[in-house]
């Protein structure tokens, strides 16, 4: 396999993982998804992907959190996770961790700030639009993940030049995501919730992006 083929194969996996994170943070986990993770070992293949990237310890934390859910009555698991999701991502104030860039990059922690405007212009420039049922601000964490997934897919379909595309994606990650994601992740670890699943997932997401950026940098350099 030559370097171009390796790049294409890596992009397929990258796009799938970015899309997976986009779905995780866009809405509460459903009972069906949770049952799949717990009983059908659906997370195992995802764990293997993260392990291959050197993120085993972060993915292990997610696996432990999934296993610990079995200590709760089955009918209560999805309810408790929905409560954790709301506590972390839907409430306002310092007792939650709003998943919006504007909250961390503005002095007054207001939403719909410049990051949301920048993302809207970026979406327009790339001729992308959000699903009409997704009624969150443009600078919601899931939007950054889905943009990366779509961008990567587009680079596969159009066979975009590897080095320049890698540099453009590095610039995007640095200027649009990594300038606030560490604050978000740190905040998530401090909030008291019933389970460790979402704090574990936020930590894994940050490390995945850092690892992905490093891999892109090796292509550029």
- The interaxial angle of helices 114-125 and 141-158, nearest 10 deg, is 20
Q: Output the DSSP codes for 15-78.
A: HHHHHHHHHHHHSPPPHHHHHHHHHS-HHHHHHHHHHHTT-HHHHHHHHHHHHHGGGS-HHHHH
pTM: 0.92
pLDDT score at 138:
85
Q: Which residue has the tokens 């993982």?
A: 17
Q: From residue 14, give the alpha-carbon distance in Å to each of 7, 32, 38, 110, 153.
A: 10, 25, 24, 32, 9
Is 181:209 a contact under the CB 8 Å cutoff? yes
Written as six digits, the tokens of 26 are 């866009």
Is the Cα dihedral 104, 107, 112, 113 positive or negative? negative
Q: pLDDT tens digits for the chain (221 residues)?
A: 567 778 888 899 999 999 999 999 999 988 788 888 877 577 888 999 999 999 999 999 999 999 999 899 988 999 999 999 999 999 877 789 999 999 999 887 777 778 878 887 877 777 766 666 667 788 999 999 999 998 999 888 877 788 999 999 999 999 999 999 999 999 999 999 999 999 999 999 999 999 999 999 999 98
Q: How far apart (Å, rounded) are the C-alpha atoms in residues 186 and 28?
A: 20
pLDDT score at 193:
95
Written as six digits, the tokens of 142 are 């899931």
pLDDT score at 131:
67
Written as six digits, the tokens of 220 are 């550029």
> How open is the CA angle 98-189-172, to the nearest 5 degrees?
55
Q: Please, what's the b/e burial string for 13-23 (b: 16 or more CB within 10 A of its CB; e: otherwise)?
A: ebbebbbebbe
**92 alpha carbon, distance to own chain's centre:** 21
DSSP 203: H
**75 alpha carbon, distance to own chain's centre:** 27
Q: How far apart (Å, rounded) are the C-alpha atoms in residues 195 and 199?
A: 8
DSSP 100: B
pLDDT score at 37:
81
């Amino acid at each position: 396999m030559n370097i171009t083929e390796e790049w294409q194969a890596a992009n397929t996996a990258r796009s799938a993982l970015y899309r997976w994170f986009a779905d995780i943070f866009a809405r509460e986990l459903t009972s069906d998804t949770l049952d799949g993770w717990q009983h059908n070992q659906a997370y195992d293949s995802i764990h293997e992907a993260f392990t291959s990237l050197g993120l085993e310890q972060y993915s292990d934390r997610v696996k432990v959190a999934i296993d610990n859910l079995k200590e709760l009555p089955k009918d209560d698991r999805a309810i408790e996770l929905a409560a954790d999701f709301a506590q972390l991502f839907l409430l306002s104030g310092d007792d939650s961790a709003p998943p919006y860039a504007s909250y961390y990059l503005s002095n007054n922690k207001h939403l719909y700030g410049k990051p949301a405007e920048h993302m809207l212009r970026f979406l327009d420039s790339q001729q992308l639009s959000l699903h009409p049922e997704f009624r969150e601000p443009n600078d919601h964490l899931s939007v950054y993940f889905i943009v990366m997934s779509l961008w990567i897919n587009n680079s596969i379909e159009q066979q975009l030049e590897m080095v320049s595309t890698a540099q453009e994606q590095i610039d995007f990650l640095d200027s649009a995501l990594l300038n606030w994601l560490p604050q978000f992740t740190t905040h998530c670890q401090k909030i008291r919730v019933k389970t460790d699943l979402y704090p574990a997932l936020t930590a894994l997401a940050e490390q995945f992006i850092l690892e992905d950026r490093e891999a892109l940098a090796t292509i550029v350099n």
